[in-house]
């Protein structure tokens, strides 16, 4: 992926072709800004890609050039280039559905939107009996989870989620994730606390999903035809 920043240099040293795939747009376009920028005006959308690339290059250029000289035996990329040196002629495949975000009109033939990629994890998954019984005991639940992203106040966030479920008379599955969600003061029969479960098994059994907007979770929710609410944190 383009954020690895070593791929083009290794490919250059090995003299082999490279094809970049990523879940976030990294190729300049005038249709939307770079996902790591905060540009709001359309006139600055395309420029935002150059700015982000230049800032990242400023932070990693010494490490990249050290790799090029000492390990790859390549000439260093000039500091005056302003970017990390990946060529615009490198083919890119962006892994989201063109029905969700169509390919920008100013992306050439080397750049394409290829659709989501899915792992078939459900076919080999054996759910715990407790989870199956809870799912079958009532209406389809709402899934709430934020993956590996840290939550600053997990107990407060959990209280907010539980209160929202209670007010709307919904059942909910809370994925504890890495953020430490789900520390309930007392058990709730309308809340199920979850560790890791394959999304392609769980989401078809849910009525909606609330998540951080990660590429895999978004893809799984859409594939399961689940209404989705995204609560973005960073880089999503």
Tens of pLDDT, residue by residue over 18-63, are 999 999 999 999 999 999 998 999 999 999 999 998 898 888 889 9
Domain assignment present for residue 62? The answer is: yes
∠ Cα 118 120 124 (to 5°): 160
User: Which pLDDT belongs to residue 184?
Assistant: 75
| Contacts of residue 31, Cβ cutoff 8 Å, sequence gap at least 6 | 45, 104, 105, 106
Domain count, the chain: 2
- HSE-CB for 157 with a 13 A CA cutoff: 18
Verify that 38 and 88 share a domain, yes or no: yes
pLDDT band at 156 (very low <50, low <70, confident <90, very high): confident
C-alpha to C-alpha distance for 10 and 98, rounded to whole angstroms: 30
Verify that 129 and 104 share a domain, yes or no: no
Verify that 102 and 143 share a domain, yes or no: no
Domain assignment present for residue 235? The answer is: no
147 pLDDT higher than 90: no
User: Which pLDDT belongs to residue 186?
Assistant: 78
Q: What is the CATH number of the domain that holds 168?
A: 3.40.50.2000
Examine the fold and report which residue of 113, 136, 155 is the final residue of a domain before the chain moves on: 113
117 pLDDT higher than 70: yes
Verify that 87 and 167 share a domain, yes or no: no
User: Which pLDDT belongs to residue 187?
Assistant: 81
Task: Write out the residue range of the structural domain in which residue 47 sits.
Answer: 2-113
C-alpha to C-alpha distance for 70 and 73, rounded to whole angstroms: 6
Domain assignment present for residue 236? The answer is: no
Q: What is the pLDDT of residues 197-227, one digit of tens each?
A: 999 999 999 999 999 898 899 999 999 999 9
pLDDT band at 87 (very low <50, low <70, confident <90, very high): low
Verify that 155 and 212 share a domain, yes or no: yes
């Amino acid at each position: 992926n383009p954020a690895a920043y070593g791929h083009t240099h290794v490919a250059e040293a090995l003299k082999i072709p490279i094809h970049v795939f990523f879940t976030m747009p990294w190729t300049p376009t005038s249709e939307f800004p770079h996902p790591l920028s905060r540009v709001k005006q359309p006139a600055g959308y395309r420029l935002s890609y150059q700015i982000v690339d230049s800032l990242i290059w400023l932070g990693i250029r010494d490490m990249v050039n050290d790799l090029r000289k000492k390990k790859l035996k390549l000439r260093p990329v000039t500091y005056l280039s302003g970017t990390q040196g990946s060529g615009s002629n490198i083919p890119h495949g962006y892994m989201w559905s063109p029905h969700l975000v169509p390919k920008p009109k100013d992306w050439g033939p080397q750049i394409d939107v290829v659709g989501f990629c899915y792992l078939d994890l459900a076919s080999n998954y054996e759910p715990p009996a407790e989870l199956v019984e809870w799912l079958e005991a009532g209406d389809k639940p709402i899934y709430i989870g934020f993956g590996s992203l840290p939550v600053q106040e997990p107990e407060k966030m959990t209280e907010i989620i539980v209160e929202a479920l209670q007010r709307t008379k919904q059942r909910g599955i809370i994925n504890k994730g890495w953020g430490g969600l789900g520390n309930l003061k007392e058990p709730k029969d309308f809340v199920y606390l979850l560790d890791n479960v394959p999304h392609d098994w769980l989401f078809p059994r849910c009525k909606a999903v609330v998540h951080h907007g990660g590429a895999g979770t978004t893809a799984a929710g859409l594939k399961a035809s689940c209404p989705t609410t995204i609560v973005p944190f960073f880089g999503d």
